[in-house]
Structure 1
Amino acid sequence: MSVEELLDQYGTTYAEQAGIRLRDKPAPLYQLLVLSTLLSAPIRAETATKAARELFHAGYRTPAHMKDATWQQRVDALGRGGYVRYDETTATRLGDGAELLLTRWSGDLRRIRDNKSRVRAHLQEFPGIGEVGADIFCREAQAVWPELRPCFDKRALDSARQRGLPHNADELAGLVRDDRVAVLAAALIRADLDE
């Protein structure tokens, strides 16, 4: 499969699917953190993105709004998105994560940008964000944080190898414009999940 075919068939980021207009601003970056938390659970990506849209539709687009929502309001929004198996645990994690972001980082994820390796470590301090969640966040955030580029996690690189594409991050990124690296990373993950 060529890069063009891959992008034509699977070239939508998860942030786009969740309705996040990703920019280097506090609210969209927080929404990406929420989405990364939801995608970290062993649940379908479509369910996680739908649940994220429900949370955002309910007004929980910033850490302050997420923290101010009751646990039950968060559970209800997750339930409307079909995120029912992990709704109670995730509702708690989202509230605790919002509190952490507000108290430690003044509600602004841009404060964790000091260097690539520390970004991942800082992300993993948030409840529900482990290595997979940090991979998801960085894979998508590279669209607005160029210092993360190229960011292809092991799963994306394995997907590239299976499709006969370079499985070195720099070579793979060289196949597209800088502003399309995040889209290529998402396309590789989507193609892998589609199988």
Structure 2
Amino acid sequence: MSDEDVVKALLDRHGTTYAQDAGITLHDKPSPLWQLLVLSLLLSARIGSDIAVAAARELFKAGYRTPQKMREASWQDRVDALGRGHYRRYDERTATQLGELADTLLETYDGDLRRLHEESEGSKDVEQALQRFKGIGPAGAAIFCREVQGVWADLAPYVDKLAADGAERLGLPRSADRLADLVARKDLPRLVAGCVRAARDKAVVDDVRQG
């Protein structure tokens, strides 16, 4: 298969972003950016991505689509929402972290992650700034940057090691620039998400390589 054939199969079968899976319509606006930050925190735990996505959906369904609403929710409310998404192994700790996440965003950036972006110069700065939020480590920062590059164009092409490993398993180039050349700019977050899935699950690679 050519690189183009692999990319087409990957996008067709495994090319939804994690934000899309969680019901987030990503724009450069405070609420969807906050929702992506929440999703990045949930995906950072040692738990299946499907459970993390389901938990995010439950939190947003409960109305916690802004840091203000998350701060107003009780700790038990957050635990209950996480439980409905079957995010039970880490529910109590994560409920605390979500409250702290909201507090930090409101106090540091007035609830608006665009301010973090404005104060940063490139993806390394954004990664470092994100890791100042308790519960967001290198993995969580990478998740956020992979997804947000569609609306924060100065971060693109952003391909972390996990995505590059997935690209290699698929027979695609590891280079961010070379991967970006294979798709329209709007599809780069989808391609990177597909590569991450390939890195985590050999069945994705087999499915794509079957044509």
Query: Which structure 2 residues correspond to residues 119-134 of structure 1 after superposition, within 5 A?
Result: 119-134=126-141
Letter in 1 for 2:121: N
Q: Is the 8 A contact 1:3 1:175 kept in 2?
A: yes
Query: Can you give the 5+ residue segments of structure 2 that lack an aligned partner in the other structure?
Result: 203-211
* CA deviation after TM superposition for structure 1 residue 145, in Å: 0.5
Q: Is the 8 A contact 1:101 1:108 kept in 2?
A: yes
Counterpart-to-counterpart distance in 2, 1:155 and 1:192: 6
Residue in structure 2 matching 1:167, options 159, 174, 177? 174
Query: Which structure 2 residues correspond to residues 3-22 of structure 1 after superposition, within 5 A?
Result: 3-22=7-26
Query: Can you give the 5+ residue segments of structure 1 that lack an aligned partner in the other structure?
Result: none
Counterpart-to-counterpart distance in 1, 2:47 and 2:141: 17
Task: Give secondary structure in 2 for the equivalent of 1:60.
Answer: coil
Rg (Cα) greater in structure:
2
Deviations 1:35-85 (A, max 9, x none): 000000000000000000000000000000001100000000000000000
| 1:147 paired to 2:154 | yes
Counterpart-to-counterpart distance in 1, 2:125 and 2:174: 24
State the TM-score, normalized to the length of structure 2: 0.91
Letter in 2 for 1:144: V
* CA deviation after TM superposition for structure 1 residue 162, in Å: 1.4
Runs of 4+ in 1 over 3 A off after TM superposition: none
Percent identity between matched residues is 57
Counterpart-to-counterpart distance in 2, 1:33 and 1:47: 16
**Which residue is 1:65 aligned to?**
69
Counterpart-to-counterpart distance in 1, 2:113 and 2:151: 12
**Which residue is 1:88 aligned to?**
92
**Which residue is 2:121 aligned to?**
115
| 1:97 paired to 2:97 | no
Counterpart-to-counterpart distance in 2, 1:86 and 1:127: 15
Task: Give secondary structure in 1 for the equivalent of 2:24.
Answer: coil
Q: Is the 8 A contact 2:58 2:84 kept in 1?
A: yes
* CA deviation after TM superposition for structure 1 residue 191, in Å: 2.2
CA RMSD of aligned residues (A): 0.8
Counterpart-to-counterpart distance in 1, 2:59 and 2:179: 34
Q: Is the 8 A contact 1:13 1:183 kept in 2?
A: yes
Q: Is the 8 A contact 1:112 1:118 kept in 2?
A: no
Counterpart-to-counterpart distance in 1, 2:14 and 2:23: 16
Letter in 2 for 1:20: I
Counterpart-to-counterpart distance in 2, 1:124 and 1:48: 19
Task: Give secondary structure in 1 for the equivalent of 2:88.
Answer: coil
Q: Is the 8 A contact 1:123 1:134 kept in 2?
A: yes
Q: Which region of structure 1 is more displaced relative to structure 2, 154-163 or 23-32? A: 154-163
